[in-house]
Amino acid sequence: MADETSSPSDAQSSAQDAPPSTAAQPLGEPLVELRDVNKHFGDLHVLRDINLTVRRGEVLVVIGPSGSGKSTLCRAINRLETIDSGEILVDGEPLPQEGKALARLRSDVGMVFQSFNLFAHKTILDNVTLGPVKVRREKTKDAKERALALLDRVGVGNQAHKMPAQLSGGQQQRVAIARALAMHPKVMLFDEPTSALDPEMINEVLDVMAALAKEGMTMIVVTHEMGFARRAANRVVFMADGQIVEEAHPEEFFTAPKSERAKDFLSKILTH
């Protein structure tokens, strides 16, 4: 399906080559809200007074130099990291601390990591059905049907009975996306989902993500793929040293960045 709905892309192309953003409009009410969020790792202040609201249907791309706190921001929204102060709300509710409420949050906030994180000893189909059956208490038959439909949707329906190691990195990452979608998430977090992939597999994953964006999925995407940001994002957030330095529509950000930090960052990555 991704192949039918998304425009062709070239992940290696610079942002200037990409068509303008096609993300769904208009945006809904706030779905993820961060208020004055701070986080330290020892003496390192990794998130500094972060204030950010992501609306339903919005595709937010987070970019910035290595170590600027992008992953930590993403992980804090899924409560894979705790925060020291401030508040994070998902759909109006503060993040739960533990137990069933935390499991429910993790279904509401789907996460796709750089390293796929599939269960190595389970088939592709089991990888996608396990969460819905164990956490959401869906009937196995229903969960399997939906899993097969999702695997089809990300272009790996014919791989359902294989083991993860039999699939390419790009295929495994698409399975990871299907697995997160199987939990009926309200928002999807992507933490550098293509960074571990061979170059020829990057586009197949970005195309699935762009198709999701077009369908109106709320997404927060940490990525170095500027072409994706340009074509799929409603908004780009640029982070440096744990702070949001600049945020803008991708068109504006890539053509006329305001801060020196962003100009410097873009000049380095867009010339590669």
**Does residue 223 bind ligand ATP (CB under 6 A)?**
no
Q: Which of 15, 34, 69, 179 binds ligand ATP (CB under 6 A)?
A: 69
Parallel, antiparallel or unpaired: strands 235-240 and 243-248? antiparallel
Smallest separation (angstroms) from ligand ATP to the CB of 102: 19
Q: Are 52 and 237 in contact (CB under 8 A)?
A: yes
Q: Which amino acid is it at 166?
A: Q
**Is the bond preceding residue 65 a cis peptide, omega within 30 degrees?**
no
CB closer to ligand ATP out of 1 and 196? 196
Rounded Cα gap, residues 181 and 140, in angstroms: 16
Which of residues 41, 51, 142, 264 is near ligand ATP by CB under 6 A? 41
Q: Which is nearer to ligand ATP, 62 or 206 (CB)?
A: 62
Q: How far is the CB of 218 from ligand ATP (least distance, A)?
A: 20
Which residue in the set 46, 83, 176, 236 belongs to the binding site for ligand ATP (CB under 6 A)?
46
Q: Is 224 helix (H, G, I), strand (E, B) or coil?
A: coil
Kindly tell me the burial class for residue 157, based on how many C-beta atoms sit within 10 Å of its own C-beta (0-12, 13-18, 19 or more). middle
Q: Which of 239, 225, 246, 220 is nearest to 56 (CA)?
A: 220
Instruction: Please report whether residue 66 would count as binding ligand ATP according to CB under 6 A.
Output: yes
Does residue 45 belong to the site contacting ligand ATP (CB under 6 A)?
Answer: no
Distance in angstroms between the alpha carbons of the first and the last residue of the chain: 31
**Which window, 18-26, 41-49, 83-91, 164-172, contacts ligand ATP (CB under 6 A)?**
41-49
Q: Between 71 and 78, whose beta carbon lies closer to ligand ATP?
A: 71
Summarize as ranges the residues that interact with ligand ATP (CB under 6 A): 41, 44, 46, 64, 66-72
